[in-house]
Homo-oligomer: A and B are copies of this chain.
Amino acid sequence: MQTFGNPEKLEWIELGNGQRRKIMAYNDQLMSVLVNFEDGAVGADHSHPHTQLSYVLEGEFTYHIGDDVYTMRPGDSIVVEGGKVHGCACVKAGTLLDVFTPMREDFIK
């Protein structure tokens, strides 16, 4: 559990393919994660049992859930049900705030 998340005191985790992640505040039920994308980076299709919410802090993304496609700009948010295949392409470099329930155990191993 990390009750408080100050981004200046937390490290980026390099993911390759123009993406990096910073784990912010979390407990068992919720986890907040910054995901930074370079121009043109692609978050490949994937799924997980966790429900996810993405909020665009900066940049522009083409986000899809199954066959539904959404253009997302700063201030936009989207919710993805657990188990649904989703992915995104970064049209303009920027950052998503992703929130998961339950927290992503696999992110802190």
| A residues apposed to B, CB below 8 Å | 1-8, 24-27, 29-30, 32, 51-53, 55, 65, 68, 70, 75-79, 81-82, 97, 99, 101
Contact = CB atoms under 8 A, between A and B. Distances in A.
A14 B32 CA distance: 27
Given A97-B97, A99-B53, A101-B101, A78 B4 contact: yes
Contacts of A30: 51-53, 79, 99, 101
Contacts of A5: 76-78
Q: Is the interface of A mostly helix, strand, loop or mixed?
A: strand
Nearest to A74: B7
A81 to B, nearest CB: 6
